[in-house]
């Protein structure tokens, strides 16, 4: 181990720790950016390489901008309150039925609009539903966090990390469904059952269901149509193997622009409501991964993958998927997926191993609150509503919910 590599790994570890525990309650983005700046300042990563690393995240930035604009505009136009009232009115005063309804909606949103959309778009609606039902919001908010990862490999578009891991070699939709249909059913089903069991005490008793259905404004209908059209566009561009970022951003900008034009309103309130710091967080993580790659870490991982696959493909797939699931919680699944993608390009492991790695990087983050970008976005969303969930509190739930789903999903892929 060279001194340079030790310095790189130390800075990356400290930056990741800062993202995880948020010392001084500074935002996660601050620690990722500080780590990236330190790598460049100490001469461990040339500024040109750091700039290229930031540029690699362009598609992710555009995707997030589009989704965050749609979410903020929807919130401002009362779409979330409208959806919440529908869910509550159909709950029949049962917190258990309301839990099931919200979970089903979460599966649909994650599948067709991505896990980040489930975190950004669904969370405010769920909070509004809990408030209208006069129910404890946390069990329902947990749905948004956990389903965002549990359903994130139903389709290639269900998680930007899917495209990061596969790069330019995303399987065709038919092959994708053949590989991931059964693992997705296992993941979604197991997550529901265990999460529902973990929240059983909070779901006792009755909730309110006789709530007034608010009228959806013209702007609200515009955003709703925009979300539906965005889902259709994402399916089309995914089938054509076109990057998702630009189309999503365009849809978000256009929908927001139409709403603002109808109301003749200033864009400033919407712009202020968007969590722009998330973009800085992602950029910092890309730089950290670039430094880790230069240190030889990905080459070592590629060598290990090749060695494991020679002995047993199924054993290599199970071990690699489980390992990446854990690592995703130590360094966030976006950089973990980037490291894995580079290692895959060097090692060329069997498809089962690659698919198990995808399940690990998508589902593994359900263990901790900072395991995925989706859960960080979810955390930002619930903070805006006055809720706070600590790292330890989330871990207590995640440690129960994630392992069964991961074992069943990877097992299902091995038998397909």
Judged on CB neighbours under 10 Å (0-12, 13-18, 19+), 2 is exposed
pLDDT of residue 414: 94
CA dist., res. 354 & res. 218, Å (int): 46
pLDDT of residue 58: 87
CA dist., res. 82 & res. 32, Å (int): 37
In this predicted model, what pLDDT tens digit does every residue of 245-286 receive, in sequence order?
889 899 999 999 999 998 888 999 889 888 788 899 889 988
- The three-point CA angle 63-64-65 to 5° equals 95
- pLDDT, mean over the chain: 87
The neighbour count for residue 150, using CB atoms within 10 Å, is 33
Which percentage of the chain shows pLDDT scores above 70?
Answer: 98
Indicate if the pLDDT at residue 240 is higher than 70.
yes
DSSP states along 339-404:
HHHHHHHHH---HHHHHHHHHHHHHGGGGSTTSSHHHHHHHHHHHHTT----HHHHHHHHHHHHHH
Among residues 341, 359, 347, 342, the alpha carbon closest in space to that of 416 is found at 359
CA dist., res. 95 & res. 190, Å (int): 20
Region of 46 on the Ramachandran plot (φ > 0 left; ψ -120 to 50 alpha; else beta): beta
The predicted model scores a pTM of: 0.82
Of 19-28, 46-55, 244-253, 320-329, the range with the lowest mean pLDDT is 19-28
Indicate if the pLDDT at residue 183 is higher than 90.
yes
| Mean pLDDT value of segment 155-170 | 76
| Mean pLDDT value of segment 235-247 | 80
Instruction: Band the pLDDT of 44: cuts 50, 70, 90.
Output: very high
Indicate if the pLDDT at residue 14 is higher than 60.
yes
In this predicted model, what pLDDT tens digit does every residue of 307-351 receive, in sequence order?
888 888 999 999 999 999 998 888 778 778 888 888 888 888 999
| Mean pLDDT value of segment 360-383 | 89
CA dist., res. 210 & res. 205, Å (int): 16
| Mean pLDDT value of segment 116-137 | 82
Fill in the DSSP letter of residue 266.
-
C-alpha to C-alpha distances, 210 to 40, 153, 274, nearest whole angstrom: 58, 36, 33
Indicate if the pLDDT at residue 211 is higher than 70.
no
Its sign, for the CA torsion 98, 100, 106, 109, is negative
Indicate if the pLDDT at residue 208 is higher than 80.
no
CA dist., res. 357 & res. 346, Å (int): 15
Q: What's the token pair of residue 407?
A: 């074992």
Which percentage of the chain shows pLDDT scores above 90?
Answer: 36
């Amino acid at each position: 181990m060279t001194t340079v590599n030790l310095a790189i790994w130390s800075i990356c570890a400290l930056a990741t720790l800062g993202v995880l525990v948020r010392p001084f309650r500074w935002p996660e983005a601050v620690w990722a950016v500080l780590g990236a700046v330190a790598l460049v300042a100490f001469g461990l990563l040339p500024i040109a390489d750091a700039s290229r690393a930031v540029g690699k995240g362009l598609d992710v930035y555009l995707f997030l901008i589009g989704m965050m604009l749609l979410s903020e505009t929807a919130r401002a136009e009362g779409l979330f309150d409208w959806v919440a009232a529908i869910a509550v009115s159909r709950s029949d005063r049962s917190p258990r039925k309301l839990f099931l309804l919200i979970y089903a909606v979460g599966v649909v949103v994650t599948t067709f609009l991505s896990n980040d959309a489930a975190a950004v778009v669904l969370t405010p609606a769920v909070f509004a539903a809990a408030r209208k039902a006069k129910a404890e919001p946390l069990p329902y908010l947990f749905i948004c966090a956990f389903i965002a990862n549990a359903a994130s490999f139903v389709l290639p578009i269900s998680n930007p990390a899917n495209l990061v891991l596969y790069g330019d070699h995303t399987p065709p939709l038919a092959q994708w469904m053949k590989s991931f249909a059964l693992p997705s059913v296992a993941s979604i089903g197991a997550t529901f059952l265990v999460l529902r069991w973990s929240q059983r005490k909070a779901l006792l008793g009755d909730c309110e269901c006789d709530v007034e259905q608010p009228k959806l404004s013209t702007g609200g209908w515009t955003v709703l149509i925009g979300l539906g059209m965005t889902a259709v566009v994402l399916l089309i561009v995914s089938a054509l193997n076109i990057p998702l970022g630009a189309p999503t951003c365009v849809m978000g900008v256009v929908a927001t622009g139409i709403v603002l034009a109808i109301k003749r309103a200033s864009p400033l309130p919407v712009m202020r409501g968007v969590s722009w710091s998330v973009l800085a967080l992602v950029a910092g993580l890309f730089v950290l991964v670039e430094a880790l790659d230069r240190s030889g870490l990905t080459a070592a991982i590629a060598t290990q993958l090749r060695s494991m696959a020679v002995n047993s493909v199924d054993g290599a797939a199970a071990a690699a998927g489980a390992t990446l699931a854990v690592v995703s919680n130590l360094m966030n699944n976006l950089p973990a997926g980037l490291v894995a993608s580079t290692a895959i390009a060097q090692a060329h492991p069997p498809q089962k191993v690659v698919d198990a790695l995808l399940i690990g990087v998508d589902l593994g983050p359900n263990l901790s609150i900072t395991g995925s970008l989706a859960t960080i976005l979810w955390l930002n969303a619930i903070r805006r509503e006055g809720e706070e969930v600590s790292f330890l509190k989330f871990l207590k739930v995640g440690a129960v919910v994630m392992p069964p789903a991961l074992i069943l999903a990877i097992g299902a892929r091995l038998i397909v």
